[in-house]
Amino acid sequence: MKIAACIKWVALRPDIDPLSGSVETDDRFSGVSAADQAAVEWALRMGEAWGASVTVATVGASIAESALRDALACGATTAIRIDIEHPLPSAAVGRELAAALADADLIVCGDWSLDRGSGSVPPFLAHARGAEQACGLVALSLDATGVVRAERRLDGGRRERLIVRAPAVLAVEGSTARLRRAPLGGVLSSARSSIDVRTPSTPNPAEPVRLVHARPFRPRTKIVDGPHGSVRDRSNALLGMGSTRTPPQRLVLDPEVAAEHILAALHAWGEIDDPASAEGQ
Amino acid sequence: MPDFEVVVVGAGPAGSIAALSLARLGHSVCLLERGPFPGSKNVYGGVIYGRILDELIPHWWEHAPVQRWITRRGTMLLTDHQSLCIDYRSTAWAQAPYNGATAYRPDFDKWLADEAVKAGATLVSSTTATGLVRTNRGLVGGVKTDREGDLMANVVIACDGVNSFLAKEAGLYPNFSKDHLTLGVKEVLALPRQEIEARFGIRSGTNEGADLEIVGGTQGIAGGGFVYTNLDTISIGAVLSLGGLSASKVRPEEVIAGLKAHPSLAPLVDGAELKEYSAHLIPEGGFDAMPEVVGDGLLVAGDAAGLCLAAGLWLEGVNYAIGSGKCAADAVHEAIAKGNFSKAGLVSYKDRLEATFVLRNHRKTRKAAHLLLSDRLQNRYPQIACDLLEQLYTVEDPLPKRGALTIGRALWKGSGLRIRHALRDGRDALKIYG
Amino acid sequence: MTDISRRESVLAFDDRMATVDFRISHTAHITVDSEVCRSCTTRACLVACPAKLFVTTNDGGILFNYEQCFECGTCYAVCNNEGAITWNYPEGGHGVVFRHG
């Protein structure tokens, strides 16, 4: 059994100039997101529960190795870095990870990264591996070897319970687990561990979508009509002055006749279409 | 079998230099830092004087992440509406090897720690030392950390800052008290570069800078203030004695607000945007408040050893941290050669400190804390000096001019101060600065 | 006083603290024995703490939070009631992270 976790080195506290929109990042304020940390933690738990090896992988520049070393310090077995200088599109990242983790049975990813945030790498990775995918997981529990029971977030606050069997790609949310604190021995040995650095299999993947030009979002002008009528008319209309109004009536009727009255009233208020058709239903 | 020969706790200037020196001498050394990166917990109030680095890192000024080189140094006396500034400027300080520099400590300390790592030290960050491990012979033989597993070493150098929990645990700091501490609070304010240069009278387009130290203006709390320039920010702050602060009803940030509103400082900081608010304790007790710096298997350096020169004209700390870190490394090197890590084996640290500027300057200025935080120095003398100049400069025609002596005598009488106090203060000042 | 400096002078304390980066640990590194504080007359921590972490409660105790702590040590240095405030460094890698210190 082989488990893998995928992480991404991102700026955790980017400095965004409100005027120019330029983004400044600082390696000291960068790292991996809570979701990616949860992914590493789940991979380690699976490794412990099932006696499996745990590989951590990232696609990124050499600075990302410090995040890999953190994972090694926590107990991961091996670390792979696919060396790129510039960010790749998600599909290419998915392909690169699939190639590097070809022998992994279960791959755990963070649900989405903090910088791009589309959450599309796990599905691309699953597609490239030809594996099942379970994304947006908010709760997990480990079952027999290679089997995970998971709960997935759906729209409208609904949940979906899944049983996922290897081979599969799981994408977990940050709230599912907190990454353990690495023991001192792990920290010391991880500083000396070697990291498997690979060159991308497709050096310059064709970008399916190329950004030609972007400009800041400017909402379209919305034309709002000015008020009609005089101030007096409008305040009268608001207060209901001058308009005729039927005073409430108290009727004592047989149930059948009363129902007809109610239906007629509902129709008059526009709540139902037609008393006759409503009666038919 | 220890993990390392030496564990240095705290990757500030003292720790990084100790680790760098030991690594260069061929020892295995672990540099422990509780912040996510070195410098992340550190704050200071002015200038780094780097002369002590010349030997350790040749041409350090070409590599260090410096904001501005100080070419203007001022000491300001403030009363509520007056200010008197001794304002010294020198272009000689604008050239290598420079005199002092301003920097952001998260940049500077990280750079120093990286130098130590380059020299061969092992940096372990995000790890807090929570206590000392004693060997069966009673010597300190390592530190407990907030991670699983202890870090064992022959010697521990505690550079863990002003609150030094390690020195306290070892019983070396029995006199730790709020009376020896001041609280530094600081605001970093953003302004365009050219604007800073114009406001502080710095040659435009250069990386020259100004550092103004302030006496008074702290709303009755004994202490002082400072303003200094970074590349595109100004740092302004107050240093407040904890005794005075806790007895007052004024909060620290209100003291800064008071300084910023002072008519002679407001034009410098007007309209600047707050980038960061910070605070840190400063060990200003001086020579007489220092802890024991040598224990069995343990040395204490930097702020943890109470090394900080707060003597009015001289306000220095980073250089003493570096100096003590170097002395500690040399002492440990000697102890390793002798194989004796007890107090007796490490005692040369104290001698080394005594032989260098580190303790000699502290000894020379030992009366400074007492003198400078006294009411006379804080309030009375500045008031007399400002009033004297105000009356000298005020033209009161048709009244004939009064001489400085006449004015001075009248002011002195009015102040109710005693001549013998002034003489004693003068004698102390001569001992410190003479 | 210009408009800008007037705005600056009323900068809310929360906005001031918002300029500082904190990596908040899930365990508190400050504990306060509110029983001891009830009998405290000086309450120096209220005024001295530069991050304003200590506030009084209606029943005379002290409420504190640890999240936005500068880790300066002022609170326990000014506290004159032995054992009222215990204070240690937060877990490694957490707590305040200065950018311009």
Note whether A149 contacts C: Cβ–Cβ < 8 A. Answer: no
Please report residues of B whose CB lies closer than 8 A to that of C97. 35-36, 40-41, 106
Q: What is the CATH number of domain B179-283?
A: 3.30.9.90
* Residue in C21, C26, C91 closest to A13 by CB: C21
Q: What's the confidence (pLDDT) of residue A279? A: 53
Which chains contact A through at least 3 pairs of Cβ atoms less than 8 Å apart? Answer: B, C
Please report residues of C whose CB lies closer than 8 A to that of B188. 100
Indicate if B179-283 has the same CATH topology as B4-67+103-176+291-366: no
Note whether C50 contacts B: Cβ–Cβ < 8 A. Answer: yes
B50-73 burial code (b ≥16 CB/10 A, e <16):
bebbeebbeebbeebebbbbbbbb
The residue count for chain B? 434
Cβ-defined contact of C91 to A181 (cutoff 8 Å): yes
Residue A89 has pLDDT above 90, yes or no: no
Cβ-defined contact of A184 to B124 (cutoff 8 Å): yes
Residue A200 has pLDDT above 80, yes or no: yes
Of B51, B37, B19, which Cα lies nearest the Cα of B119? B19
Query: Minimal Cα–Cα distance from B272 to chain C, Å?
Result: 8
**CATH number 3.65.10.10 given to B4-67+103-176+291-366:** no
Query: Minimal Cα–Cα distance from B269 to chain C, Å?
Result: 9
Cβ-defined contact of B148 to A183 (cutoff 8 Å): yes
Note whether B41 contacts A: Cβ–Cβ < 8 A. Answer: no
Q: Give the Cα separation of C77 and C88 in Å (integer).
A: 12
Position with higher pLDDT, C81 vs B379: B379
CATH topology of domain C3-97: Alpha-Beta Plaits (3.30.70)
> What are the helix (H) ranges across B81-192?
105-119, 165-169
Residue A278 has pLDDT above 60, yes or no: no
Note whether A63 contacts B: Cβ–Cβ < 8 A. Answer: no
Cβ-defined contact of B127 to A187 (cutoff 8 Å): yes
Please report residues of A whose CB lies closer than 8 A to that of C91. 181
Q: How far is CA A88 from the centre of its chain?
A: 19
Note whether C21 contacts A: Cβ–Cβ < 8 A. Answer: yes
Cβ-defined contact of A29 to C91 (cutoff 8 Å): no
Instruction: Please give the residue of chain A at the shortest CA–CA distance from B144.
Output: A184
Domain ranges (residues) in chain B: 4-67+103-176+291-366, 179-283, 374-433
Q: Per residue in B370-412, pLDDT tens?
A: 898 899 999 999 999 999 999 999 999 999 999 899 999 999 9
Please report residues of C whose CB lies closer than 8 A to that of A66. none
Average pLDDT over residues A31-59: 96
Please report residues of A whose CB lies closer than 8 A to that of C99. 26, 29
DSSP, res C65: -
Please report residues of A whose CB lies closer than 8 A to that of C97. 29
Six token digits for residue A89: 């599109």
Residue C6 confidence class, pLDDT cut points 50, 70, 90: very low
Residue C7 confidence class, pLDDT cut points 50, 70, 90: very low
Note whether A28 contacts B: Cβ–Cβ < 8 A. Answer: yes
Q: Which of residues 122-151 of B touch A (CB under 8 A)?
A: 122, 124, 127, 145-151
Q: What is the mean pLDDT of chain B?
A: 94
Residue C1 has pLDDT above 60, yes or no: no
Q: What's the confidence (pLDDT) of residue A157? A: 86
Distances from the Cα of A268 to the Cα of A78, A181, A247, A273, C70, angstroms: 73, 68, 15, 9, 67
Instruction: Return per-residue pLDDT of chain B as tens, 434 residues.
Output: 789 999 999 999 999 999 999 999 999 999 999 999 999 999 999 899 999 999 999 999 999 999 999 999 999 999 999 999 999 999 999 998 999 999 999 999 999 999 999 999 999 999 999 999 999 989 999 999 999 999 999 999 999 999 999 999 999 999 888 899 999 999 999 999 999 999 999 999 999 999 999 999 999 999 999 999 999 999 999 999 999 999 998 999 999 999 999 999 999 999 999 999 999 999 999 999 999 999 999 999 999 999 999 888 889 999 999 999 999 999 999 999 999 999 999 999 999 999 999 999 999 999 998 898 899 999 999 999 999 999 999 999 999 999 899 999 999 999 989 999 999 999 999 999 88
Q: What's the confidence (pLDDT) of residue C3? A: 44
Let me know the angle formed at the C-alpha of B419 by B413 and B425, rounded to the nearest 5 degrees: 125
A30, A70, A74, A184, best to mutate vs chain B, most B CBs in 10 Å: A184
Six token digits for residue A280: 């038919």
Note whether A178 contacts C: Cβ–Cβ < 8 A. Answer: yes
Note whether A138 contacts B: Cβ–Cβ < 8 A. Answer: no
Cβ-defined contact of C52 to B42 (cutoff 8 Å): no
Q: Where in chain A is the domain with CATH 3.40.50.620?
A: 2-198
Domain ranges (residues) in chain C: 3-97
**CATH number of A2-198, picked from 3.30.420.40, 3.40.50.620, 3.20.20.70, 3.60.20.10:** 3.40.50.620
DSSP, res B114: H
Q: Per residue in B325-350, pLDDT tens?
A: 999 999 999 999 999 999 999 999 99
Of B98, B337, B308, which Cα lies nearest the Cα of B182? B308
Please report residues of B whose CB lies closer than 8 A to that of C71. 41
Residue C10: burial class (beta carbons within 10 Å; 0-12, 13-18, 19+)? exposed
Q: What is the mean pLDDT of chain A?
A: 89
Query: Minimal Cα–Cα distance from A242 to chain B, Å?
Result: 57
- Point out which residues pair with B241 in neighbouring strands: B182
Note whether C101 contacts B: Cβ–Cβ < 8 A. Answer: yes
